[in-house]
Amino acid sequence: MDLEENAFFDMDVAVPLGIIVNELVSNSLKHAFTKEEGEIRIKLCREEKDDETQESLFSLTISDNGKGIPENIKLENFESLGLKLVNILVDQLDGKIELERANGTEFRIIFNVTERE
């Protein structure tokens, strides 16, 4: 894990992020690895900060070095309930989700947050 220090989120942001992390890590554990070994990485970082508005752009990246998601499966057409839930929660955060398929699977979620002190 590589987590941004001093990032404080309201419950409206923290709860959806927690569910997203849970779903994506669970999917990695269930589907990514053909052997018992593998690596799952979670990274949360502040990309930009506007001190005047107290608004920050964050990215949450959850990746694994497993077998990956086939190219013919599109992000917007996932059949699994868990990944549909992830898409709904990203929309709830007014965020964007990106899928990278090189060297396993990487989901990157970008969202804005008005931070509290």
pLDDT tens for each residue of 96-114: 999 998 889 999 999 999 8
Domain-wise residue ranges, the chain: 2-32+46-114
Report helix angle 81-92 to 11-27, nearest 10. Answer: 150
With beta carbons less than 8 A apart as the criterion, state whether 41 and 21 touch.
no
Cβ of 97: how many Cβ atoms within 10 Å?
20
pLDDT tens per residue, range 54-99: 789 999 999 999 988 878 777 766 777 888 899 999 999 999 999 9
Put simply, whether the predicted model's pTM sits higher than 0.85 gets the answer yes
Judged by average pLDDT, the poorest of 12-16, 49-53, 113-117 is: 113-117
Q: What does DSSP say about strands 40-50 and 2-3: parallel, antiparallel, or unpaired?
A: parallel
Q: Which CATH number fits domain 2-32+46-114: 3.30.565.10, 3.40.50.720, 3.30.420.40, 3.40.630.30?
A: 3.30.565.10
pLDDT tens per residue, range 17-32: 999 999 999 989 988 8
With beta carbons less than 8 A apart as the criterion, state whether 106 and 62 touch.
yes
What is the rounded CA–CA span in Å between residue 76 and residue 61? 18
- Where are any strands of DSSP class E within the chain? 2-3, 40-50, 55-64, 96-100, 105-114
**Quick one: pLDDT at residue 18?**
95
**Quick one: pLDDT at residue 77?**
66
